[in-house]
Amino acid sequence: MSALREEGAAPTAPGGMIRARTDGEDRLIAADEPLAGLQLRSGSTVPGAIAVPALLALVRRVRRTGQAASRTILSVDEGHPVSALASVTPEGEGTAIELSQWQRGEEAAAELPVPEALLHHVAEAEILLDEAQRVIVADVRAPDLASLASALETGRGRYWTDFVKIERVSDLMTARQGPLHWRLLDDAPFTVEGSARSWRARILPRGQGGFVLLAIPEAIEALPASLAATEAKPTEEDEQPSWNRLLGRDLAPALRQPITRIIANAETIRTRLAGPLADEYASYAHDIAEAGRHLMSLIEDLADLEAVEAPGFAPAPDHIDLADCARRAAGILSVRAQERGITLHTPDAGLRVPAIGEFRRVLQVLLNLVTNAIRYGPAGSAVTLAAGLDARGAWIAVQDEGHGLTAEQASRVFEKFERLGRTGDGGTGLGLYISRHLARAMGGDLVVTSAAGEGARFELTLPPDRTA
């Protein structure tokens, strides 16, 4: 086996088998093409750190347990999906790797699941990065990452790796200008000053350039001890919590991870990554995944419900741009809209509508409104997001081309658990109630204007940013 082969060369092993070896530090020390070429194009070397996160995780597990293991690995090579069946066995201090069924391009794309939504469910921080992995803006949700949130806010324009301690590759990064290639940092474990938990970095390329960095906790079953120790003494109300407070505060963190595993495993079965499967069983797996997503949505809504109904709830007064928020929400939901043949119209790129409100909460409201418009709008229709300033303040509206609401339905649509008679559509009946609660907590409001057969227009108003 050669350490490197000419880029694009075919595997030399019999039967198309691609072989590789790793050492006791989980570095790739020899590899056949095309794995060697992928390693180089991802910014690593041979010998060097394994550039495919799924393969690295498998190698680590085999070396730690001493037991051989196999799994399908998925990656991206210069924008093209790649899939292969990896078999890893212990060999000396390291491992021996055999890859078969290597596919690149459209064939591999058919094997790829859609894990991004699952990652967003469990991420406790989302950081928008430019093409060089410099921080543009951060949305940090975990209380034990408060120091990171503050550092990111004041350190915009710096590399994200300046703010965390990354295991295994820290020494490599200090020897070069800026962070490593994003592929080498994807799925890298890291720690943050002030947090007792361990974290992993998931880096997702954005179609328009740059990346989204997701901070995924290694464990989310319980609060960090440092936070638990600082909690106030329970009040009489806390000692006898209502059902939604019990679920949102105590059970939601423990339920997120196992439900995410259920969804991920169901998707693995549905997409036949675990092996051939009859169509009816793939359909069952699809139903399991959809039920898991519905349950996850309900849990998230109940956790939000507890937060917004808590005494003293007050969103952070950020300086935001509603037009930019509209474009971001449309970008996040563009794939879902395309699946239904729905066109999303957004404000012009040069439009700015400065307002005061918490960025994360405003985006949450918009995602709920646009999701509803996509879900209930007819296939092939359009959803229009508009924003502006007038005497009422800063506003942003979501207009669909659906069946619209009667006057009686419009009067009930913001009530808790109101579904307007719909069943089986994946909704929880809490989204609009929470959204209006958030709007009013930020000093604004959320209203709807509609008529049967003419679509619905939901409008969020916020205080204008007069300093902008």
Measure the CA–CA gap between 60 and 82, rounded to whole angstroms: 21
**Pairwise CA distance, residues 148 & 163, whole Å:** 7
- Cα torsion through 78, 169, 130, 213, rounded to 10: 90
Q: What is the pLDDT of residue 130?
A: 83
463, 327 contact by CB (below 8 A): no
Q: Which of 171, 163, 173 is nearest to 134 (CA)?
A: 163
Q: Which amino acid is at 368?
A: N
Could you tell me which residues come within 8 angstroms of residue 419 by beta carbon, excluding any fewer than 6 positions away? 427, 429
- Give the pLDDT score at 92: 92
Q: Which residues, in sequence order, are CB contacts of 343 under 8 Å at separation 6+?
A: 337, 381, 382, 383
Between CA 149 and CA 166 the distance in angstroms is: 17
| Bridge partners (DSSP) listed for residue 401 | none
Q: Judging by beta carbons within 10 Å of its beta carbon (0-12, 13-18, 19+), is residue 375 exposed, middle or buried?
A: middle
Q: State the distance between the two ends of the chain, measured CA to CA, in whole angstroms.
A: 62
Longest Cα–Cα distance of the chain, Å, equals 74
The position carrying tokens 């590899």 is 31
pLDDT at 243: 43
DSSP string, 365-404: HHHHHHHHHHHHSPTT-EEEEEEEEETTEEEEEEE--S--
Any bridge partners for residue 90, and if so which? 95
Nearest one of 62, 1, 10, 57 to 29, comparing CA atoms: 1
Q: In the prediction, which pLDDT does 118 show?
A: 54
Residue matched to tokens 């898991």: 292
Q: What is the pLDDT of residue 252?
A: 61
User: How many CB atoms neighbour CB 55 within 10 A?
Assistant: 26
Phi-psi region of 109 (alpha: psi -120 to 50; beta: other; left: phi over 0): alpha
Is 56 within 8 Å of 187 (Cβ atoms)? yes
Q: What pLDDT does 28 receive?
A: 93
Q: What is the pLDDT of residue 51?
A: 82
Asked if 342 and 299 count as a contact pair (C-beta separation under 8 A), the reply is no
Using CB atoms within 10 A of its CB, is residue 95 exposed (0-12), middle (13-18) or buried (19+)?
Answer: buried
For residue 339, how far is the Cα from the chain centroid?
Answer: 19
What DSSP assignment string belongs to 265-326? HHHHHHTTTTS---HHHHHHHHHHHHHHHHHHHHHHHHHHHHHHHSTT------EEEHHHHH
Please say whether the beta carbons of 215 and 231 come within 8 A: no
**Rg value, the chain, Cα:** 24
Please give the model's pTM, rounded to 2 decimal places.
Answer: 0.47
Residue with tokens 């007050």: 314
The predicted pLDDT at position 450 comes to: 86
Q: Which neighbouring-strand residues pair with 91?
A: 94
Residue 262 in tokens: 């259920």
Q: Buried b / exposed e across 329-341, counting CB within 10 Å, b at 16+?
A: bbebbbeebeeee
All residue ranges of the chain with pLDDT < 70 are 1-15, 78-80, 105-122, 167-178, 206-209, 219-257, 273-275, 419, 421-428
Supply the mean pLDDT for the chain. 77
Characterize 399-419 residue by residue with b for buried, 16 or more Cβ atoms within 10 angstroms of its Cβ, and e for exposed.
bbbbebbeeebbeebbeeebe
State the pLDDT at residue 370.
Answer: 93
Contact in structure between 432 and 416 (CB atoms under 8 Å): no
pLDDT (0 to 100) of residue 223: 36
Give the integer Cα–Cα distance in Å for 302 and 297: 9
Classified as helix, coil or strand, 252 is: helix
